[in-house]
Amino acid sequence: MKVAIIQFPGSNCDWDAEHAVHDVLGIPAKRIWHKSRLPSETEAVVVPGGFSFGDYLRCGAIARFSPIMSDLKEFAEKGGQVLGICNGFQILCEAGLLPGALVRNDCMEFRCINQPLRVENSNDRFNREKLGPSLSLPIAHGEGNYRADDAVLSDLETNGQVLLRYEGNPNGSVNDIAGIRNPGGNVYGMMPHPERAVESHHPTQDGLPVLAAFVEPIRKTQSVELSPS
């Protein structure tokens, strides 16, 4: 098992993420319950979309306290690859692994559409040359409105940490931000769902290069060793 997909009560995209990584990309992946330890052989982690703990309090605010999150933080701090999708993005922000917050869409509606996106030249893996200048990926969220203070936004823009921007902003996100990464380039978060755009019967297959860019480093590096419990 190379890719761990964390499963919270209320996750609803965990099976989709496992299928996209394991069956479509051909990289061993497994769902891991939120009360478990992160397996020592893990080389990348996906925090999937859904409604963890019913989105009580705030989206991701309860999931950040799940037992597995201490392992996830240690994994990320040691350079492990982490991708948060939709609710997973919200959880990573709540846990402090990514800056900013996701709040209620400014339209006050749940948006479920195939969304045009602009790709930013963020790093050597996530750029227009590899992914193309634009993508179309599904979104499905009521709290996808990205917010951050001016200092955080300045850092994101200056350091090239913005991954994706909305074309025709569907939720009011500042600077049209749809996805970001941390300064180290190993923790990613995005509201669009690449795992829902990987097969011929999907509206597009634009999720394939996104997921391939995320898992690329695990073909080159060893597993991150976690401290014993």
Q: pLDDT tens digits for 48-106?
A: 999 999 998 889 999 999 999 999 999 999 999 999 999 999 999 999 999 999 999 99
pTM attached to this predicted model: 0.94
Say how many CA atoms lie within 13 Å of 217 toward its Cβ.
20
Whether residue 229 lies inside any domain: the answer is no
Whether residue 117 lies inside any domain: the answer is yes
Give the model's pLDDT for residue 58. 87
Domain count, the chain: 1
Residues serving a catalytic function are: 86, 193, 195
Whether residue 175 lies inside any domain: the answer is yes
Whether residue 101 lies inside any domain: the answer is yes
For the domain that residue 87 is a member of, what is the CATH number? 3.40.50.880
Whether residue 225 lies inside any domain: the answer is no
Tell me which residue of 124, 214, 206, 116 sits closest to 165, measured CA to CA. 116
> How far is 102 from 34, CA to CA, in rounded Å?
22
Spell out the long-range contacts of 204-212 with Cβ–Cβ below 8 A and sequence spacing 24 or more: 204/114, 204/135, 204/136, 204/137, 206/132, 206/135, 206/136, 206/137, 207/20, 207/137, 208/24, 208/25, 209/130, 209/131, 209/132, 210/131, 210/135, 210/137, 211/20, 211/21, 211/25, 212/25
pLDDT (average), residues 162-189: 98
Instruction: Write out the residue range of the structural domain in which residue 90 sits.
Output: 3-219
Whether residue 149 lies inside any domain: the answer is yes
pLDDT (average), residues 136-142: 97
pLDDT (average), residues 142-162: 98
CA distances from 189 to 93, 186, 226 (A): 8, 10, 22
Whether residue 113 lies inside any domain: the answer is yes
Please provide the DSSP assignment of 101-165 as one string: EEE--TTSS-EEEEEEEEE---SSSSSHHHH-SEEEEEEEES--EEE--HHHHHHHHHTT-EEEE
Residues of the chain above pLDDT 90, percent: 92
H-run or E-run covering 53: none
Asked whether the beta carbons of 87 and 51 are under 8 A apart, the reply is yes
